[in-house]
Amino acid sequence: MTAFTITRELILLALPLIIIQYGLSIYCTIDILKKGTKNLNQATWILIVFFINIFGSIIYLNVGKRKDL
């Protein structure tokens, strides 16, 4: 195996995770802007979602998302 093959394999393994991460970040950002948040302001949640990556999105969905009844 050459270095190119290893790099290509790693990219193919990481690509689904990268797509999920960005998709979840975009979903959370749209949700924050449309529905608002429960306990912090919108700008703070958007920063959390983008700078803490996948964990920021998970934290937002569990803690900060406004539940519509």
Report the Cα 13 to chain-centroid distance in Å: 18
Return the pLDDT at 48: 95
Kindly report the pTM of this predicted structure.
Answer: 0.79
Per-residue pLDDT of the chain (69 residues; tens, 9 = 90+): 565 666 888 888 899 999 999 999 999 999 999 998 888 999 999 999 999 989 999 999 999 887 765
* Nearest alpha carbon to residue 62 among 51, 19, 48: 48
DSSP 37-62: BSSS-HHHHHHHHHHSHHHHHHHIII
